[in-house]
A and B are shown apart, each in its own frame.
Chain A
């Protein structure tokens, strides 16, 4: 429900408000700050939550501000017009308005319009519109006349329609009202007739507008006290034909104020409007919030000292002049709904979950870069006047420039500082840029190898191979197995050639040099207690249920195998590689690959390394088969599928080589025998599974319903 909170005043000193009240209240680029322009000579910047002024600027005696000051959201400057034609631009640091940038224009300005996200527009009294940038480049340019003689602009508003600025202004001529819509990208002006004076005797007192899909919803408060709504298309169907098109005005709310006083209107959201004015001819002035959907008065607040008939609404604050004092009334409103009206809208939150209204914002990852890189001519001009302003350099740029010259130690400290600050949406690309910067220096300076910095960056979990293509090559060059292991674990997109190069290095590196490195041993558990299980495994050959292995003619291989049983047992019981190498190989096993691309590279590995790797894989395979779940002990061990796939791949790639080497022969035989016994078990399991499935089917048939059936159901 709509609620007006306790009001507070902004200025203890009465503003120099004339009989017409203030010139304007405008938003600033910082939240909570507003520019107040009185109808005399002064502009005051207020911080609303603190209720105190941050700055105040006045024009010289004899000069008069004719247009409310606005903030240029792109540069943070303030702009004001005095004596109708003189433009002044200044910032917070300026003290005297006489000494700031000044531009004298050739025509009288009606208003400067500024909203976040685009450059300010200048609307001239004759209806022409210019961008501020273009106007400042050539202040004395000729300004055309758009509206006719005796036509006066009454009200204007500026919108962003799908990133394109659009401007609406209302003119009056002898009681006739016209609306002009100008889209800035097409620079076509569409004119609509709002109200013809001879038809109705009412005068429109106040306008407000909001954007409603493809229409501007223009609301007007008439002197008969009713609020009317007019929908004006943003995209006119045929700009030339529809000149002077009449738009329909429909009554939105009837007689909300008595007509004769100075009343004001402001739209708050899609269902609510705020109306300032006396509800009855005799009564005091009131601020009322109306719900247009349900046509109800939500809340009303009396303002006994009278107002100037002006109302501004920004964010959650309503501004008005109460007596002589600028008053702010915070306003809150929930979406109106029937369920809300009845008592409960919805459950606030689902149990156990947090609402995360973050939709993907396509802008976030792109917007940052472009905003920074956009060099503004305005900034340049200002620097001529005051050369002290230093544009803010993003921390990442700073770090990148440091990387080019600083020592390893220093970079590491800087990096730690950088990583400690808050993550931006494009964090991963920034990290990528930093790594590339570091690698670039590695390549030019052979002695430079910022190992700990790189490790730290990899551990941010945001890098991928494609973000820093050179990283693994450099690590391979430096034989940095620890870094390679980390990369294999972290990167999702390592090319097969690089994976294979890592594998080659892990197999060829000497045991002594491995012992010195600090490799993550998480994936390797203690395999030494294998002696006990080994016996059981031999028994699988005998314990075959309902299946005779002799039927498969493999007598010779059995025979051959029995010739040197000692040898094979030895091979299978103990791990063929030292634990550190095992950990590295496990990292390779875990990495993703595509067979087609991996196979050619596997052929390049020397034969003895192939045998060693096969031995290790066979060993892992045996370990897997030891328990029912077919898994290895330890944290994050290689899975059975990974092991099997790699065995197949190695055999595929190096079949002829493996067949030719004598030391591989026994390994192949034992592998073959073991696989065969496994297949036997699987076929038996298959049989069991089929029988179970049949049982299941029989069970299900009972519940199967016919096309039409009558059932008995006991309902509670």
Chain B
């Protein structure tokens, strides 16, 4: 639905969650009522001169603060009129800037409004009188984001210089009850703009243009440096961005606005461990598929046979047929997609490429039969009653009989594709699923969770397998549990049923279920022992987790055929080189 105010710059839900306020380009503020089935326009607020860039509700929901250009307005929600308009100084270190943009506001329950602006100021205002209480100049560039803790005794701001500042409400002297906001800690973990910050009870979280998500735990009083107190940096999305056609050896790369299809090269040479082989045929860039319009690609998939590509943006679903004639390829878009296929969260093809599984953002799962150049809708599994959560991960068994789907919290549902009914549900676990796969032949479902736990669930028996029970009883190695990045892909070797291949951003691992599990005293990362050692030693040091850190940061890894693995690295330097330059800081005489 349209708010009829031009681009929407800001949005805020009321503390009770029943109302939504949007700030528009033309300076209008519009209040919407959120009903379970739809969003309904309720009222316009007094229109302001320029665009509304930031909004914040008073915790009681009676007032709101809106940051615009050069001024902050405080509105009464009931009447919709502005009670105070607080003008922000354009002056910046004596130099008058063109405009002062209020990037963020926060309304505290005692009536204080905190604003952050493009002149590098953090300002405290009294909303009752509309006066400036205090100014902190924290940066020479824009302060772009603010987040307040639930307790309202500390908040965090992020600047365009990549710095994050922590402010705390502390007593002025040891014995007085008078409290003051004090800038306590600066953190510099980003190289570029910090676009957003969040404040959890135990950590400060910041995300910026440099593609990093930084989690900085507030655990100063921990005496022993342990894992929980460590700083985390997360770079890659926890989703699969690459899909692979095993038959034709194709890789489909998903970017925000285009898809790239590559055919892998080959070699005729052989070599020993560690050799780089000469290429007899180089990798080919087959296809560059650009989307129209401004929407990002949400998900994409290439079929195992290589002749279908499906992808989806926020509002449209696309299905394309690829024809290969010698070296030429031609692409036909399948037109007339049914109305229910508007937007997908996850797409998957069956192993024989005859079926397409689409997880819609409404929580339902569609099964489509693919014919030569056309398709037929087979069935739709409706969302479980009472949930609106969409399924964000899908896995299909190689024999095509089972389909596993997982949302963010409500467990993994396994469907019988032949009889088109729900087969069973793996009980919900406290942490979300990050990867799913069904093993060939045994139809064991392997589930990786974000807390690094791995479960193996037998679909035919509807219970956890013996191996899964064993590893849960013994527990994972502590180093395994302390990894930062989640498992993003799981695959299996067709000839070795005891092996599970999985990878995260910094390692790939083959779990050999026939070997003993490592305990905390054994070395988890156990590089290949030298061949000259006796078999006894090799056997004694061997355990189920075979880890290789050869390729990192690893974006994708899959088994192409019995003897070939394909791995995609994404060097961070390449990403940073493409980023817009950060704010230049003058250093000494340069």
Contacts and interface: CB of A to CB of B under 8 A. Distances in A.
Q: Name A's interface SS.
A: loop
Contacts of B231: none
Interface stretch (B88-96, B219-227, B483-491): B219-227
Interface stretch (B66-74, B267-275, B338-346): B267-275
A238 B546 contact: no
B453 interface: yes
Nearest to A213: B150
Q: Which 5 A-B pairs have the closest CB atoms?
A: A429-B174, A714-B273, A237-B16, A353-B226, A370-B177
A430 B174 contact: yes
B275 to A, nearest CB: 5
A344 B282 contact: no
Nearest to A343: B473
Interface of B: 14-19, 59-61, 77-78, 109, 150-154, 168-171, 174-177, 179, 201-202, 218-229, 264-267, 270-277, 279, 282-283, 427-430, 453, 464, 468-469, 472-475, 478, 481-482, 510, 512, 520, 528, 542, 546, 548, 550, 565
Given A350-B226, A710-B277, A711-B274, A359 B473 contact: no
A365 B170 contact: yes
Contacts of B276: 705, 709-712
Interface in A338-360: 338-339, 342-344, 346-347, 350-351, 353-356, 358-360
Contacts of B221: 356, 358-360
Contact of B219 (A236, A360, A432): A360
B16 A236 contact: yes
Contacts of B481: 346-347
Given A337-B430, A342-B469, A358-B219, A373 B277 contact: no
A214 interface: yes
Contacts of B229: 356
Contact of B177 (A163, A338, A373): A373
A339 B60 contact: no
Given A347-B475, A353-B224, 11 more contacts: A233-B17, A337-B430, A338-B428, A354-B224, A362-B170, A369-B176, A373-B175, A710-B265, A712-B272, A714-B272, A715-B510
B453 A339 contact: yes
Contact of B226 (A347, A355, A705, A715): A355
Contacts of A709: 276-277, 279
Interface residues of A, number: 53
A715 B219 CA distance: 41
Nearest to A358: B221
B528 A714 contact: yes
B61 A712 contact: no
Contacts of A426: 174
Contacts of A430: 174
Interface in A672-716: 705, 708-716
Nearest to B428: A338
With most chain B CB atoms within 10 A of its CB, the pick from A708, A710, A712 is A710
A356 B224 CA distance: 8
B271 A712 contact: yes
Max chain A C-beta neighbours (<10 A), residue from B59, B150, B274: B59
A343 to B, nearest CB: 4
The B interface is mostly helix, strand or loop, or mixed, namely loop
A337 B222 contact: no
Interface string A217-248: 00000000000000001011110000000000
Contact of B175 (A339, A369, A712): A369
Contacts of B478: 347, 350-351
A294 interface: yes
A301 to B, nearest CB: 26
A413 to B, nearest CB: 25
A683 B77 CA distance: 72
A31 B81 CA distance: 51
A713 B565 contact: yes
A346 B431 CA distance: 13
B427 A235 contact: no
B169 A362 contact: yes
Nearest to A337: B430
Contacts of A433: 174
Contact of B510 (A235, A347, A356, A716): A716
A344 B475 contact: yes
B15 A214 contact: yes
22 contacts: A162-B152, A214-B17, A293-B428, A338-B427, A338-B430, A342-B469, A343-B469, A344-B475, A346-B481, A350-B478, A359-B219, A362-B154, A363-B153, A366-B170, A366-B177, A369-B175, A430-B174, A708-B265, A709-B279, A710-B267, A713-B565, A716-B528
A214 B175 contact: no
Contact of B273 (A337, A363, A432, A712): A712
A214 B14 CA distance: 12
Given A355-B226, A715-B546, A344 B472 contact: yes
A346 B265 contact: no
A237 B19 contact: yes
A235 B273 contact: no
B61 A238 contact: yes
B171 A366 contact: yes
A148 interface: no
B270 A162 contact: no
A256 B151 CA distance: 38
A237 B429 contact: no
A374 B176 CA distance: 10
A432 B274 CA distance: 64
A228 to B, nearest CB: 15
Most B-side CB within 10 Å, residue of A162, A353, A358, A708: A353
A186 interface: yes
A293 B429 CA distance: 11
Contact of A366 (B179, B224, B428): B179
B270 A369 contact: no
